[in-house]
Amino acid sequence: MTFNEKYILNLIEKEQRTDGRTLMDYRKIKIETGISKNAEGSAKVTIGDTEVIVGVKLDLGEPFPDTPDEGTIIVNAELLPLSSQEFEAGPPGTEATELARIIDRGIRESKAIDFKKLALIPGEKIWMVFIDIYTINHAGNLIDASALAAAAALQVARFPKVENNKVVYGEFTNKLLPSTKLPVTCTVSKIRNKFIVDQTLEEEGSASARLSVALIDGKIHAMQKGLLGPLTPEEVEQMIDIAIEKERELRKHLK
């Protein structure tokens, strides 16, 4: 995958990319919900050739002692070995853990899901919202694809049936999981001295730094700078501006 590094760098200097996109173009985005029947909510997102699926499962549990009347979200991500030559079977490594935590922060800090609305019996039984992210084909930009898929899955998630304060697995209600606008994440990568969005796998290999920004209507709820290269404050500001610009376009894909 690194043969083309020089070629990619030369093109980027000329503000072009290997697939003909401009620096600010996303590849084609498709979202499909309800792809797995046993999930309370599920979605599949493709951005170009990258494909990610997210499933939401709801179950009852005991609240944390310091927040007796609040439910919670638990985000897990797996970089499945079937999605790329590079991934090996095994427990989530650092990349998968980072992915899960970035998605978690966006949803948690934006308060798009009001945890207080997830208490079935305050002090005793609360709803745990499991958000499980799985990569199906890794062609770059897993963060943005995962964030979109998580948002789409949460939008259609409904509560399972409850009897005697226990979940009846496999039976669902029509009551949707309550949520307000969910965050959209845009990742901006720095290659040489240019910025691009929606990096392909090859471009990821050539980037010196990336900044992922989770936004709701221009307000920043989570950020993550990744990779080894440093960024000046001016560069950070430019990258945030790009992300804010892109939010509108990305949000159009969510109903």
Alpha helices in 83-211 (DSSP H): 94-110, 142-156, 201-206
Residue choice 82, 116, 165, 248 for contact with other proteins (CB under 8 A): 82
Please, are residues 129 and 107 in contact by the beta-carbon 8 Å criterion? no
Which neighbouring-strand residues pair with 189?
Answer: 196, 210
121 binds other proteins (CB under 8 A): no
Chain positions 91 to 110 lying near other proteins, rule: CB under 8 A, are 91-92
Which helix (H) or strand (E) element contains residue 235?
A: helix 233-251
* 49 or 235: CB nearest other proteins: 49
The phi and psi torsions of 100 (rounded to 5 degrees) equal -60, -45
- Please tell me whether residue 2 binds other proteins under the rule CB under 8 A: yes
User: What is the longest distance spanned by two Cα atoms in the chain?
Assistant: 65
3 contributes a contact to other proteins by CB under 8 A: yes
Does residue 57 touch other proteins according to CB under 8 A?
yes
Site map (CB under 8 A) of other proteins, residues 16-35, x = contact: -------------------x
Contact between 139 and other proteins per CB under 8 A: yes
How far apart CA 77 and CA 100 sit, in angstroms, is 5
200 binds other proteins (CB under 8 A): no
CA distance 239 to 57: 34
Contacts of 92 (CB under 8 A, 6+ apart): 76, 77, 78, 79, 100
Residue whose tokens read 């427990």: 91
Taking the least distance from each CB to other proteins, the nearer of 133 and 242 is: 133
**What is the closest distance, in whole angstroms, from the C-beta atom of residue 170 to other proteins in the complex?**
4
> Is residue 195 part of the contact set for other proteins (CB under 8 A)?
no
The binding site for other proteins (CB under 8 A) comprises 2-7, 14, 35-40, 42, 49, 51, 53, 55-57, 59, 76, 78, 80-85, 89, 91-92, 130, 132, 134, 136-139, 167, 169-170
